[in-house]
């Protein structure tokens, strides 16, 4: 693995992954929607190209063939906010992912690595439980799962190696979204009450630099037609993560856990098992949740 293409390269996880591949001596062609990147700095062996990944014809016209060996796919519209429930957007994401894999084959790549999500497992559990009424929030995960299913079949047909990393919950410096870790850290920064539901569902979080390291190792050593869960190797009930954040970052604050039951799909703890990625690639998360949230909070204070 020497020359790689990375889509969504200027995004939160994508930008960390670009930097990881560069640090390992790879040449990277970074694709994203912007005229110029916001998160990526100029670097030797880095080429940036503005590209809408839904236009694979443009991609095939502009990218030299026979140079790149690996295609890493992060680009995914509507990964946050109300667009996560828009089935038109999420279905288009799935179809665009398949077309990107086909383009990767035409460009000469032997391997296609796509960012999946642990929500794919949640979707399967929610949909295939008798009498379940899955909410609209599952549609994002459905898009990922559909992409996963179609890509495996098409990959076998066109003879390219698909590898499917599945991220639990990435967080860290550089993300301003209203996702759980950021929302809780903002409450701590602003001195707001730390109120939560019962938080009994199993969960995991993994710091973004560890996610980037996992993508490098999976791209390099992962087995074709396999999926790999990227996590901390320390999954547990969400309540325990919240208590760790409070004890580390706001020891004098009170935690208020409500009696509101969790109405989503509580995945069994074994779903978060990272034994496959550890065995096949040697990956092990390095940044603890306490340290990762501390770094993230210090960064978020700049935007108070």
Tokens standing for residue 87: 């089935």
* Strand 111-114 relative to strand 161-167, pairing: parallel
Any domain includes 272: no
CA distance 51 to 64: 14
CA 278 to chain CA centroid, nearest Å:
18
Give domain status of residue 294, yes or no: no
- The CATH number for 72's domain is 3.40.50.720
Residue 38 lies in a domain: yes
Tally of structural domains, the chain: 1
Residues 284 and 70: their CA atoms lie apart, in Å, by 23
Show the tokens assigned to 296: 């993230």
Task: Please give the radius of gyration of the chain, using alpha carbons only, rounded to the nearest integer.
Answer: 19
* Burial of 11: CB neighbours in 10 Å, binned 0-12, 13-18, 19+: buried
Evaluate if residue 260 carries a pLDDT over 90: no
Instruction: Could you list the beta-strand ranges (E) of the chain.
Output: 3-7, 27-32, 46-50, 70-73, 111-114, 116-117, 161-167, 170-171, 194-196, 202-203, 206-207, 226-230, 236-237, 255-257
Q: Is residue 13 in a domain?
A: yes
* Domain-located, residue 131: yes
Predicted TM-score (pTM) of the model is: 0.96
259 — pLDDT class (breaks 50, 70, 90):
confident
Only one residue has tokens 């642990």, namely: 118
Q: Tell me, yes or no, whether 101 lies in a domain.
A: yes
Long-range contacts (CB closer than 8 Å, 24 or more residues apart) made by 77-85: 78/140, 79/140, 80/177, 80/178, 80/179, 84/137, 84/139, 84/140, 85/136, 85/137, 85/139, 85/140
Which residue range(s) make up the domain with 128?
A: 3-167
Is 63 inside any structural domain? yes
In a domain, 281, yes or no: no
C-alpha dihedral over 55, 59, 62, 66, to 10 degrees?
Answer: -160
**Average pLDDT of the segment spanning 162-173:** 98
Quick one: average pLDDT of 24-44? 97
**How high is the mean pLDDT of the chain?**
96
pLDDT tier at 186, thresholds 50, 70, 90: very high
Q: According to the model, what pLDDT value does residue 172 have?
A: 98
pLDDT at 81: 82
Confidence of residue 266 (pLDDT cuts 50, 70, 90): confident
């Amino acid at each position: 693995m020497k020359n790689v293409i990375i889509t969504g390269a200027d995004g939160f996880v994508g930008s960390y992954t670009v930097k990881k591949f560069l640090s390992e001596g790879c040449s990277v062609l970074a694709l994203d929607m912007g005229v110029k990147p916001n998160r990526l700095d100029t670097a030797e062996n880095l080429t940036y190209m503005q590209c809408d990944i839904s236009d694979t014809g443009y991609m095939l016209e502009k990218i030299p063939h026979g140079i790149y060996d690996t295609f890493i796919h992060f680009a995914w519209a509507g990964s946050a906010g109300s667009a996560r429930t828009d089935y038109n957007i999420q279905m288009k994401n799935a179809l665009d992912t398949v077309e990107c894999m086909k383009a990767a084959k035409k460009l000469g790549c032997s391997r296609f690595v796509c960012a999946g999500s642990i929500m794919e497992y949640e979707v399967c559990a929610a949909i295939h439980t008798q009498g379940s009424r899955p909410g609209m929030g599952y549609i994002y995960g459905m898009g990922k799962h559909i992409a996963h299913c179609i890509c495996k079949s098409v990959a076998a047909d066109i003879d390219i190696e698909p590898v499917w990393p599945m991220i639990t919950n990435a967080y860290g410096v550089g993300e301003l979204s209203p996702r759980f870790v950021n929302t809780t850290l903002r409450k701590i920064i602003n001195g707001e009450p730390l109120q939560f539901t019962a938080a009994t569902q199993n969960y995991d979080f993994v710091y973004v630099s560890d996610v980037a390291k996992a993508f490098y190792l999976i791209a390099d050593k992962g087995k074709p037609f396999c999926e790999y869960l990227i996590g901390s190797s320390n999954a547990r009930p969400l309540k325990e993560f919240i208590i760790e954040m409070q004890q580390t970052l706001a020891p004098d604050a009170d935690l208020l856990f409500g009696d509101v039951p969790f109405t989503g799909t509580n995945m069994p703890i074994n779903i978060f098992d990272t034994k496959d990625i550890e065995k096949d690639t040697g990956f092990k998360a390095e940044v603890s949740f306490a340290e990762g949230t501390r770094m993230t909070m210090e960064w978020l204070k700049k935007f108070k």
